[in-house]
Structure 1
């Protein structure tokens, strides 16, 4: 099996430990263990008492009944038995694609966006056509282009909703239009939904509008727990879930008793965590957009309350060279847009802690001034 290097992950693996001011990441500012365990209302005592009584066996293979029921409650049409716990959303994407895509299949992927969604199908021998998002259309795709791409043998349409790194969002009307295209040939629709908006923008899961829809999510982005490595697949179709079960046995045994217990605690206190994160998004997005308005060499199509953004750079360097120089000279880390097939841009993770964001924007703004003197 041949597969392309994973652009964004390779960049972060190489450079994130060099950074002194990291504004590259895609999660809302990560919670500490103390902040999570304190959600039990007893300063973490109840959580740790329960944990101390647990045996370090494999635990619940598909996720505990509490986990599955809590995840099911996030959807309108997904029963708890159709929720399968995975190793983050990356594990969920891999499981779903591995389970359904075979050599010679035709798939359509939103592009450019999260690389897993088009390069894993390619590695499995599928023919992949791109459904393009365009900056000139506020990083949105055209449904007529999807209609032109669909074939009688199209097996799957793959979406990132909301989109990394651009922050674009497919609303319910667009999702229903995608479903109508998929239904015409019986195709599955997979949607990586880890970037749920936090600004009050209505959000619709593919699992709630299509019986062949596969929702992928995790606790990494909107829930501020990327280090937990817990995600899931969710579908209203029991036959799809049963197929995933078979393939899952080859890729993952369980998430582990500790991770599952912590995931349950986070989901039980979802409202508190989302309230915290809405404040971060609201505060930081205003700081960020106000800063962009002062910059002559940066422009932005603002994200929809999503924890990633894609800035356009007006500099006489490639985006990769600019980001390397910026890191070397200032310690500020961005992700070059070329790592997402969006040259001339960069991913800026504005949902880091506010102090880090302010410092990063100040250093970035000062660094850009050199090009005005050239």
Structure 2
């Protein structure tokens, strides 16, 4: 098996611990452990009492009944039995792709987006065609292109919704057209849905639209706890869930007693966390878009309440060289767009702490002035 290097992850593995002002990440500013346990209204006393009484065995293999029920409530047509806990969304994506694809299968992947969604199928010997997003169309794809790509033997269509790194969203009308094309040939549709808009933009899960839809999600992005590494697969189909169970035994035993308990607490207090994060998104997006308006070397197709953004920079040098020099001289970290096959752009994570965002934008503007002469 051969697989390409994971562009964005390799970049962050190399650089993120040396940054002093990190505005590269795609999560909304991470919660502290104290902030999470305070959600129980008793400063964590109930949480820790429960944890202290828990045996550190394997716990619930697929996720506790409480977790599965709470996760299923995020959907209209997914029973709790069809929620399978995974090691983050990356684990869920891998599980679904590994479970369903074989050498020679034909798949279509939204491109560019999260690299897992096309390079894992390639590594398994699948034939991958790209359904392109277009900057000229607000980073959205053209349904006519998908129609031209789909074949009678297409096995799976892989989406990232919202799209990392552009923050563009495939709305319900477009998803219904995708489902109609997939249904004609019996193809699965997998959607990595870890980025949910927080500005009131309507969002619909592929698992609620299609009997062969596979929704992937986690607590890492919209819920601000990437460190607990809890994700899941969600399907209408019990048959699909049973297939995933078999392959899951080979890739993961459990999420861990502590992590599951923390995930339950987070989902029980989903409303409070989303209210906190909506405030961060709205406040920081205004700061960010105001900065873009006054920065002559920057332009942006703004995300709709989504925690990732793809900033276009007018540079006389390659984006990766720019990002390396910016980091070395200022401590500011961005992800080069070339790591997503989007040269001339950078991923800027505007949903970090507000003070960090302001400092990062100020330093970035000062650094850009060197190219003005």
TM-score range, shorter chain: over 0.9
- In the alignment, what sits opposite 1:357? 357
Query: What pairs with 1:157-306 in structure 2 (closer than 5 Å)?
Result: 157-306=157-306
Report the Cα distance in structure 2 between the residues aligned to 1:147 and 1:59, rounded to whole angstroms.
45
TM value normalised by structure 2: 1.00
- In the alignment, what sits opposite 1:150? 150
Deviation of the 1:30 alpha carbon = 0.1
Report the Cα distance in structure 2 between the residues aligned to 1:207 and 1:335, rounded to whole angstroms.
31
Report the Cα distance in structure 2 between the residues aligned to 1:200 and 1:331, rounded to whole angstroms.
34
- Partner-residue secondary structure (3-state), 1:68: helix
Report the Cα distance in structure 2 between the residues aligned to 1:174 and 1:204, rounded to whole angstroms.
11
- In the alignment, what sits opposite 2:372? 372
Report the Cα distance in structure 2 between the residues aligned to 1:198 and 1:321, rounded to whole angstroms.
33
Report the Cα distance in structure 1 between the residues aligned to 2:274 and 2:191, rounded to whole angstroms.
21
- Partner-residue secondary structure (3-state), 1:315: coil
Q: CA offsets per residue over residues 209-249 of structure 1, 9 Å max, x none?
A: 00000000000000000001000000000000000000000
- Partner-residue secondary structure (3-state), 2:140: coil
Deviation of the 1:304 alpha carbon = 1.2
Report the Cα distance in structure 2 between the residues aligned to 1:274 and 1:301, rounded to whole angstroms.
24
- Partner-residue secondary structure (3-state), 1:178: helix
Report the Cα distance in structure 2 between the residues aligned to 1:232 and 1:197, rounded to whole angstroms.
19
Q: CA offsets per residue over residues 170-189 of structure 1, 9 Å max, x none?
A: 00000000000101100000
Deviation of the 1:76 alpha carbon = 0.1
- In the alignment, what sits opposite 2:121? 121
Q: CA offsets per residue over residues 185-208 of structure 1, 9 Å max, x none?
A: 000000000000011100000000
- In the alignment, what sits opposite 2:74? 74
Aligned length: 373
- In the alignment, what sits opposite 2:112? 112
TM value normalised by structure 1: 1.00
Structure 2 gaps, min length 5: none
Q: CA offsets per residue over residues 246-268 of structure 1, 9 Å max, x none?
A: 00000000000000000000000
2:6 is the counterpart of 1:21: no
Report the Cα distance in structure 2 between the residues aligned to 1:13 and 1:169, rounded to whole angstroms.
28
Give the aligned CA root-mean-square deviation in angstroms.
0.3
Report the Cα distance in structure 1 between the residues aligned to 2:33 and 2:228, rounded to whole angstroms.
10
Report the Cα distance in structure 1 between the residues aligned to 2:329 and 2:198, rounded to whole angstroms.
34
- In the alignment, what sits opposite 1:55? 55
Q: CA offsets per residue over residues 335-373 of structure 1, 9 Å max, x none?
A: 000000000100000000000000000000111011112
